């Protein structure tokens, strides 16, 4: 499939052009990267350099682009743009990839801008690099890397790929605001919305009517709002519309409803038994143990809060939405399982640093920030001395010390990031745990348990 990327170049147009023209990456050698591709693709006596120019020559591309910029009196910070077009190595050979790259450059930028096109063969996936002059050779108009222009680049690339029988990236992730979601799914992880979608669709497929769908959602802690065609979650300000789960109408719901003979109906009975049994709830294990019944989880040390949330996440990730074992009953607590790796890392950090209170955590953050500022100041002084000294050996020594400080800062900054994340997350986890406990163990049950414990220890005699 073809993947497209684009970025501005603020350093040097000459460096960008030299990078993409690198002969070690762009040479199609029959003895190395051309073997087995056939006579038309690389099995021949000659070595081919896969570099082309659109509205400019290959050898003098930078000089010609600079001449255009000087002619129109342009002196902006961004001189050129760098774009990439990557193909599936199983679908395209180097010559074809280069031809498609030149065709893409002509159709996207060739009418107004100069473009240098190079095909790189040094990785598993054949890919094209484009260096685009930021100023038009016709009128000097500035090219801008906006979402609209990038979308046009991708649309042209996709259209050319389809015309040549190549696959393209699907439109599951729109350009704006979905990049983070793409990388989460690419790493095989889940978002809170993914957890909710799994549960909503499970409720749908195990219902025989719209009313049954609403009843199943209620067992999971959700509310169905048919007027707005959305699912409400207690504690969330806005409902989540069913369109997010691929359901656009009541007819879509009816198409997905459980048929009377469907075998998974038994899962509903398992869910009913689960609600009364709660066999492995960490909340019950923590709260219904002696001397361990808090009025509010906000009084607990941060370590203990993160430990309990990690236990909830661990149980959640073990089981599917069918609820064969324990999962939190509060929807937002279940969704927090999507952040299980981060919460566990923050718990380990709090344990290693032995941070027992929120104030202690804030104090650690403050001291670490001061330490980082001092280290940066010291490194800058070393780098400044290295620039001024005329002794080569002294320059090497100063730069080595500065590099050592940089390496140390990486680890400290990573710890600081984890600490700040834990500090921001702590109040939310306290709220989730309090709500979860209120659902699992209502106040009358806790009060009865406290009274029984006090009586057994002789306090109420």
In this structure, the answer to whether residues 210 and 121 fall within a common structural domain is no
In this structure, the answer to whether residues 120 and 140 fall within a common structural domain is yes
CB contact burial 151-163 (16+ within 10 A = b; e otherwise): eebbebbbebbee
Query: What tokens were used for 221?
Result: 């802690």
Residue 429 in any domain: the answer is yes
In this structure, the answer to whether residues 242 and 362 fall within a common structural domain is no
The answer to whether the beta carbons of residues 2 and 90 sit under 8 Å apart is no
In this structure, the answer to whether residues 261 and 390 fall within a common structural domain is no
Helix (H) or strand (E) holding 223: strand 223-225
Tens-place pLDDT, residues 217-263: 887 888 888 788 888 888 778 888 888 787 777 777 777 665 544 44
Q: Residues near 446 by Cβ (< 8 Å), separated by ≥ 6?
A: 287, 293
Tens-place pLDDT, residues 341-359: 888 889 889 989 888 888 9
In this structure, the answer to whether residues 326 and 450 fall within a common structural domain is yes
Task: Tell me how far apart the alpha carbons of residues 199 and 216 are, in angstroms, rounded to a whole number.
Answer: 10
Residue 108: its pLDDT value, please?
A: 94
- CATH classification at residue 161: 3.30.930.30
Domain hosting residue 29, numbered range: 3-171
In this structure, the answer to whether residues 71 and 127 fall within a common structural domain is yes
Query: What tokens were used for 270?
Result: 């398992």
Tens-place pLDDT, residues 40-58: 444 444 668 899 999 999 9
Residue 181 in any domain: the answer is no
In this structure, the answer to whether residues 237 and 134 fall within a common structural domain is no
The answer to whether the beta carbons of residues 80 and 16 sit under 8 Å apart is yes
In this structure, the answer to whether residues 283 and 255 fall within a common structural domain is no
Q: Which of 259, 275, 291 lies at the terminal end of a domain, its last residue?
A: 275
Q: How many domains does one find in the chain?
A: 3
Q: Which residue in 176, 199, 178, 170 sits closest to 338, CA to CA? A: 199
Residue 129's beta-bridge partner residues? Answer: 84, 118
Sequence-ordered alpha helix ranges (H) in 90-142: 94-108
Cβ neighbours of 87 (radius 10 Å): 25
Torsion, CA 219, CA 225, CA 226, CA 231, rounded to 10:
-70
In this structure, the answer to whether residues 344 and 204 fall within a common structural domain is no
Residue 424 in any domain: the answer is yes
Task: Tell me how far apart the alpha carbons of residues 445 and 452 are, in angstroms, rounded to a whole number.
Answer: 11
Task: Tell me how far apart the alpha carbons of residues 244 and 248 are, in angstroms, rounded to a whole number.
Answer: 9
Stretch 106-127: mean pLDDT: 92
Residue 177 in any domain: the answer is no
Confidence bin at 295 (pLDDT 50/70/90):
low
In this structure, the answer to whether residues 424 and 284 fall within a common structural domain is yes
Q: Which of 255, 275, 295 lies at the terminal end of a domain, its last residue?
A: 275
Tens-place pLDDT, residues 3-46: 777 888 877 889 899 999 999 899 887 666 554 443 344 444 46
Residue 180 in any domain: the answer is no
Q: Which residue in 130, 108, 110 sits closest to 118, CA to CA? A: 130
The answer to whether the beta carbons of residues 428 and 236 sit under 8 Å apart is no
| Coil vs helix vs strand at 225 | strand
Residue 102 in any domain: the answer is yes
In this structure, the answer to whether residues 47 and 82 fall within a common structural domain is yes
Query: What tokens were used for 305?
Result: 């809060």
The answer to whether the beta carbons of residues 301 and 331 sit under 8 Å apart is no
Q: Which of 212, 243, 275 lies at the terminal end of a domain, its last residue?
A: 275
Residue 158 in any domain: the answer is yes
Q: How far is CA 115 from CA 20, 107, 287, 417, 426, in A?
A: 12, 11, 67, 41, 51
DSSP conformation class of 259 = P
| Coil vs helix vs strand at 167 | coil
In this structure, the answer to whether residues 24 and 49 fall within a common structural domain is yes
3-state helix, strand and coil shares in percent for the chain, rounded to the nearest 5: 55, 10, 35
Residue 179 in any domain: the answer is no
């Amino acid at each position: 499939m073809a993947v497209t990327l684009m970025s501005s170049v603020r350093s040097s147009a000459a460096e960008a052009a030299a990078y993409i023209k690198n002969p070690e990456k762009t040479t199609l050698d029959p003895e190395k990267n051309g073997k087995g591709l056939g006579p038309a693709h690389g099995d021949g006596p000659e070595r081919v350099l896969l570099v082309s120019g659109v509205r400019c020559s290959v050898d003098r591309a930078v000089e010609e682009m600079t001449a255009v910029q000087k002619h129109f009196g342009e002196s902006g910070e961004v001189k050129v743009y760098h774009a990439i077009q990557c193909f599936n190595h199983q679908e395209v050979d180097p010559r074809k990839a280069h031809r498609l790259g030149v065709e893409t450059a002509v159709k996207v930028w060739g009418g107004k801008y100069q473009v240098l096109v190079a095909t790189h063969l040094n990785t598993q996936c054949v890919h094209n690099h484009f260096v685009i002059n930021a100023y038009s050779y016709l009128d000097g108009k500035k090219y801008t890397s906006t979402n609209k222009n990038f979308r046009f680049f991708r649309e042209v690339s996709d259209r050319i790929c389809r015309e040549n029988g190549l696959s393209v990236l699907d439109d599951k992730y729109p350009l704006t605001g979905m990049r983070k979601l793409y990388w989460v799914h690419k790493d095989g992880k889940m978002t809170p919305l993914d957890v909710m979608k799994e549960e909503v669709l499970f409720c749908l497929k195990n219902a025989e009517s719209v009313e049954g769908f609403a009843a199943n959602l209620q067992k999971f802690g959700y509310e169905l709002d048919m007027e707005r065609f959305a699912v409400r979650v207690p504690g969330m300000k806005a409902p989540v519309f069913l369109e997010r789960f691929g359901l656009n109408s009541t007819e879509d719901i009816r198409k997905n409803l459980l048929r009377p003979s469907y075998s998974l109906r038994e899962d509903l009975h398992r869910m009913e038994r689960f609600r009364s049994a709660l066999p492995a709830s960490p909340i019950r294990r923590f709260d219904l143990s002696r001397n361990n019944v808090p009025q509010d989880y906000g009084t607990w040390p941060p370590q203990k809060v993160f430990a309990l949330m990690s236990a909830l996440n661990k149980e959640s990730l073990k089981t599917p939405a069918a609820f064969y074992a324990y999962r939190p009953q509060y929807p937002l607590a279940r969704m927090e399982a999507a952040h299980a790796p981060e919460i566990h890392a923050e718990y380990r950090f709090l344990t290693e640093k032995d941070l027992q209170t929120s104030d202690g955590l804030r104090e650690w953050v403050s001291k670490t920030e001061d330490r980082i500022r001092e280290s940066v100041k010291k490194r800058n002084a070393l780098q400044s001395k290295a620039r001024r000294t005329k002794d080569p050996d002294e320059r090497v020594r100063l730069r080595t010390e500065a590099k050592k400080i940089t390496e140390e800062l990486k680890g400290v900054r990573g710890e600081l990031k984890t600490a700040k994340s834990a500090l921001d997350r702590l109040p939310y986890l306290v709220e989730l745990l309090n709500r979860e406990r209120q659902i699992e163990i209502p106040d009358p049950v806790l009060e009865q348990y406290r009274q029984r414990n006090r009586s057994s220890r002789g306090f109420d005699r």
